[in-house]
Amino acid sequence: MKMKKKKKKFVPAIVAFLLIVIIGGAAAAKVLYDKYSYSKERVDMDAFYQVSGTESAIILQDEMVDEKAVVKDGICYFDLDTVHKYMNEVFYVDLSENLLLYTSALETVRVNLGESTYTTADGAKDLGCTIAYVENETVYVAADFVKLYTNYSYDIYDRHVQVYTQWGSKETASVEKDTAVRERGGVKSPILRDLAAGETVEILEEMETWSKVKTSDSVIGYVENKRLANRITEQEIPVTDYAAPEYTSISMPGKVSLGFHAIGGVGGNSTLDAMVAESKGMNVISPTWLSMIDNEGNIRSFGGRDYVQKAHDKGLQVWVAVDNFNYENETGTAVDELAVLSSTTKRQKLVDNIMKEALTLGVDGINVDFEGLKEECGIHYVQFLRELSVRCRTNKMVLSVDNYVPFHFNDYYRLDIQGQIVDYVIIMGYDEHWHGSKNPGSVASIDYVSNGLDKTLEEVPAEKVINAIPFYTIQWRTDGGNVTDEYLTLKNTPDFLQRVGMQKVWDETTCQNYIEWKEGSVTYQVWLEDEESISVKLNVMSAKNIAGVAVWKLGDGTSGAWELLKIYTNS
């Protein structure tokens, strides 16, 4: 009887133990299940793409960018900044006149915002949908209109738009078994999209057990490697629908040797013979005849056909200069370049006036010398050059543009675009230290010239680059903290040196002769421009194989300097 009692006590203990084991096993199984089972949680796709309403995310190549598209009634629109950044920066908008413009090598296409038609040289055409519209001061352009002038592709999906602007090779794989594309690698990551067996995905990045993939509808996420098979490499087919008209250029046979002829009135034209007699090897003359005079697009001209004919008889091309400052210097009346260039009506009036005068005078080219433009004017200035280039190309007239030595703070002059659309880009390789700057130094040290050309050649073909050299320097006068200066020309330098009685010393850093002296509390400094400094500059220009040389200005040179230019031009 005692034995039986012990047995009864032992049974509950066994049962308790088994319950503990079962419960513990269940808990362990749950832990294992939680760890290794596949999550069925699905991603909130609006949150994933960060869109709402009519917005759609943009997948550019294989990455989602910050910018958004808008899809209305099945029509895709991109804001103009997005178009400029990723597709085509030639599109130009004028909100004040409700216009969208596209200027190619041969024409300017016009669109009235909010309309479905656009006007080309062949007449009006209808796109079948609103081409561009404004909302909250942002301009949106139909993707199909952008495609008329840009080689790219786009496809609209549920909450995103796939855009391709580049093409190469891609690796693809087939899905062996129904699975899911997940937000991240890992079975617990939420699901972006279900994948059926037999579907094809593009492999973007392969890891140890997961791969980053893109589905046929451009959902980008992660799939287990064990679900993928039949990997192959395919060549993508680029879009070549649009063939842009060629930006043809006019090039002179050999190097350009251009002399700027500063003319302050019609009477100045009579000095042509003297200017040409001074020069040697010059083949282009650029008289400063045209200048903006108001905020409406009007110009004044000192030009004369007799001058042009006489220059032609002397074997010279004439590239008439048009500027934005001489009229103000003459009269004190300021011109608001932004007011003119940002208005399509006024800008095109300016182009018309320049071309009308150039054709009337019978010149061979136009030289644009717009200085001191502010950054906000940059985009409008470039549009002005585009429109002027079309007219010059149509009339077989050379278009050259004067530019500062390039730095980051003046890059809105857009040498890269100028290098495409104009015939010659002239770099004003001087004013490193300028009149009135109160900062004594060289006008054009060799590093300033050489580095400026190197930066230019990163953006402009060498056969279009002309370097302008100064036929002047500056005498600096420092008295305590007060700095004043005055110009000194090459022609006057010998008399100046004799008058001050100072010995010049060659400075290897600037590759110029240098003089310095004191008179009481005043220190005088001059970094001379002379035949020696010009020779070094021309050697650097020869080594870089650029298109030629220009000089500012005629009447200030010496026979020795011109002989060097002649040798350079004929080399």
Residue 206's H or E segment, with its range, is: strand 200-206
pTM above the 0.85 mark?
Answer: yes
Nearest CA to 61 out of 202, 183, 187 is that of: 202
CATH class, domain 167-235, is mainly beta
- Give the Å distances, CA to CA, from 474 to 21, 219, 237, 437, 493: 99, 65, 60, 11, 11
Cα 323 to chain centroid, rounded: 23
Please check whether residue 382 is in contact with residue 417, taking contact to mean a CB–CB distance below 8 angstroms: yes
For 373, left (φ over 0), alpha (ψ -120 to 50), or beta? beta
Helix (H, G, I), strand (E, B) or coil at 147: helix
- Give the Å distances, CA to CA, from 265 to 287, 291, 368, 475: 11, 12, 19, 28
Residue 3 confidence (pLDDT): 46
Residue 1 confidence (pLDDT): 45
Residue 500's H or E segment, with its range, is: helix 493-500
> In terms of CATH, what superfamily is 256-428?
Glycosidases (3.20.20.80)
Alpha-carbon gap, residue 202 to 429, rounded angstroms? 52
Alpha-carbon gap, residue 246 to 267, rounded angstroms? 41
Please check whether residue 474 is in contact with residue 486, taking contact to mean a CB–CB distance below 8 angstroms: yes
Percentage helix, strand, coil, to 5, in the chain?
Answer: 35, 35, 35
| Entry field: residues in the chain | 571
Residue 2 confidence (pLDDT): 46
Q: What is the 3-state secondary structure (H, E, C) of 298-346?
A: CEEECCCHHHHHHHHHCCCEEEEEEECCHHHHHHCCCCCHHHHHCCHHH
Question: Which strands form 472-479's sheet, in the order they lie side by side?
Answer: 482-489, 472-479, 522-527, 512-519, 505-507
Q: Which two tokens stand for residue 107?
A: 């024409």
Q: Which two tokens stand for residue 384?
A: 């002005």
Sign, Cα dihedral of 189, 194, 197, 199? negative
Architecture of the domain made up of 47-160: 2-Layer Sandwich (3.30)
Residue 562's H or E segment, with its range, is: helix 559-570
Please check whether residue 215 is in contact with residue 182, taking contact to mean a CB–CB distance below 8 angstroms: no
Domain boundaries, given as residue ranges, for the chain: 47-160, 167-235, 256-428
Nearest CA to 129 out of 139, 143, 148 is that of: 143
Q: pLDDT tens digits, the chain, 571 residues: what are they?
A: 444 445 555 666 676 666 676 666 655 555 555 566 899 999 999 999 999 999 999 999 999 999 999 999 999 999 999 999 999 999 999 999 999 999 999 999 999 999 999 999 999 999 999 999 999 999 999 999 999 999 999 999 999 999 999 999 999 999 999 999 999 999 999 999 999 999 999 999 999 999 999 999 999 999 999 999 999 999 999 999 999 999 999 999 999 999 999 999 999 999 999 999 999 999 999 999 999 999 999 999 999 999 999 999 999 999 999 999 999 999 999 999 999 999 999 999 999 999 999 999 999 999 999 999 999 999 999 999 999 999 999 999 999 999 999 999 999 999 999 999 999 999 999 999 999 999 999 999 999 999 999 999 999 999 999 999 999 999 999 999 999 999 999 999 999 999 999 999 999 999 999 999 999 999 999 999 999 999 999 999 999 999 999 999 999 999 999 999 999 999 8
Alpha-carbon gap, residue 211 to 519, rounded angstroms? 79
